[in-house]
């Protein structure tokens, strides 16, 4: 039995996910999980610095420490809830929060969340900074979860995995493992709701479902060059943010804009899957986007020969797959095992990922 904790703060910037898992060579078993939600002003702060043109060193260090403190809070709460002492936990695999992701040819990805602070204030060894070694080896540094998907869903034939966070990414479980970011997931939908409606998201996609697609706008969005790029590829909030996609004071109803934004995610996911894995017959969905029932309905409608299902049918709680993945990646690092899949990221080979910060 090897108890490990995974920490994940995604591009949606809504909170710190933490999961407690038992890892063996054969399987990863979820014991408990929780999310420490960020206050509105903290969430807005993280989103703003992700697209800011200029950042002071002091601001970045403040954010670095703040993410770490939320990580510590999540770990301590998780341990207390399960009456487990820190000495019983082998490691924390911390993804942190992405401040910048600009992969090849620029070649860098930067996750904040001071791992030294996490190790010091939890008393548990922290493994962090998973992406930069893959980039140093010529890869995108993302997505990293496909290797975990392959590990936990290896028995699913003709299947793919779709994670819908702020960005959506696909894992294609074919003879050769591949995966890539398809484009926006929840990011543009949520950002519009927060800016215009003063609410966190379009709950269940109900407002989008009441609107109609704006064809000219959707056509314009689908012409974005990212969608035409071939894998390996990855992206982030730097590319897919509302300022870059929607003209200020665009004249249309909220319902119609949300309907069009929802269709953008659904269309880019379905097109990518059909193009790069036409034999797929099952799509396992995880991440926060699974809660947007209208979005899932649209993806299913655009993939009529594919069964679109929650990852729960394969034994993986859809809310915690990413956090579990980083616990597993941390475990592999501690064992001296590679964590990336070079067929996914485009790296020159398999690499041991991250840095180890001892307790």
Nearest to 152 by CA among 313, 334, 342: 313
* Ligand-binding site membership of 183 (annotated): no
Nearest to 246 by CA among 296, 164, 188, 162: 188
- d(CA 102, CA 104) in angstroms, rounded, equals 7
* Ligand-binding site membership of 243 (annotated): no
Q: Is-contact 20 124, C-beta < 8 A?
A: no
* Ligand-binding site membership of 324 (annotated): no
* Ligand-binding site membership of 334 (annotated): no
Strands 307-310 vs 282-286: parallel, antiparallel or unpaired: parallel
* Ligand-binding site membership of 11 (annotated): yes
Helix (H/G/I), strand (E/B), else coil: 41: helix
Q: Which two structure tokens, joined as six digits, stand for 16?
A: 């710190």
- d(CA 64, CA 56) in angstroms, rounded, equals 12
Q: Is-contact 298 208, C-beta < 8 A?
A: no
Nearest to 19 by CA among 11, 289, 149, 28: 28
- d(CA 238, CA 150) in angstroms, rounded, equals 28
Neighbour tally for 308: CB within 10 Å: 20
* Ligand-binding site membership of 15 (annotated): yes
Whether omega before 105 lies within 30 degrees of 0, making that bond cis, reads: yes
* Ligand-binding site membership of 235 (annotated): no
Helices and strands in the chain: count of H runs, count of E runs: 14, 12
* Ligand-binding site membership of 17 (annotated): yes
- d(CA 140, CA 66) in angstroms, rounded, equals 27
The two most distant CA atoms of the chain are separated, in Å, by 58
Which value, in Å, is the radius of gyration of the alpha carbons in the chain?
A: 19
Point out the annotated binding site for ATP.
Answer: 10-17
Point out the annotated binding site.
Answer: 10-17
């Amino acid at each position: 039995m090897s108890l490990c904790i995974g920490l994940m703060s995604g591009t949606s910037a809504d909170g710190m996910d933490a999961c407690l898992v038992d890892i063996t060579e054969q399987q990863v078993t979820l014991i408990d999980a929780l999310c420490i939600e960020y206050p509105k002003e903290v969430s807005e702060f993280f989103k703003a610095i992700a697209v800011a043109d200029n950042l002071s060193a002091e601001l970045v260090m403040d954010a670095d420490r703040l993410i770490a403190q939320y990580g510590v809070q999540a770990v301590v709460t998780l341990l207390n809830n399960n009456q487990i002492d820190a000495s019983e936990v082998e490691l924390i695999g911390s993804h942190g929060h992405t401040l910048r992701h600009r992969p090849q040819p620029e070649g860098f990805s930067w996750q904040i969340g001071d791992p030294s602070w996490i190790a010091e204030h939890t008393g548990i060894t922290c493994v962090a900074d998973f992406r930069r070694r893959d980039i140093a080896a010529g890869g995108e540094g993302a997505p990293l979860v496909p290797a975990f998907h392959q590990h936990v869903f290896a028995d699913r034939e003709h299947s793919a995995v779709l994670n819908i966070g702020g960005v959506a990414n696909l894992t294609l479980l074919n003879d050769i493992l591949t995966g890539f970011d398809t484009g926006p997931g929840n990011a543009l939908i949520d950002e519009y709701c927060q800016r215009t409606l003063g609410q966190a998201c379009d709950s269940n996609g109900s407002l989008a479902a009441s609107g109609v697609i704006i064809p000219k706008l959707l056509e314009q969005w689908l012409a974005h060059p990212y969608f035409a790029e071939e894998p390996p590829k990855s992206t982030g909030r730097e590319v897919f943010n509302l300022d870059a996609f929607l003209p200020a004071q665009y004249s249309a109803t909220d319902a119609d804009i949300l309907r069009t934004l929802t269709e953008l995610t659904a269309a880019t996911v379905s097109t990518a899957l059909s193009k790069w894995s036409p034999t797929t017959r099952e799509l396992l969905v995880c991440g926060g986007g699974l809660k947007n029932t209208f979005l899932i309905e649209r993806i299913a409608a655009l993939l009529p020969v594919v069964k679109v299902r929650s990852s729960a049918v394969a034994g993986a709680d859809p809310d915690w797959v990413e956090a579990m993945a980083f616990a597993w990646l941390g475990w592999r690092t501690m064992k001296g095992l590679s964590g990336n899949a070079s067929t996914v990221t485009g790296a020159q080979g398999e690499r041991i990922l991250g840095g180890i910060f001892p307790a």
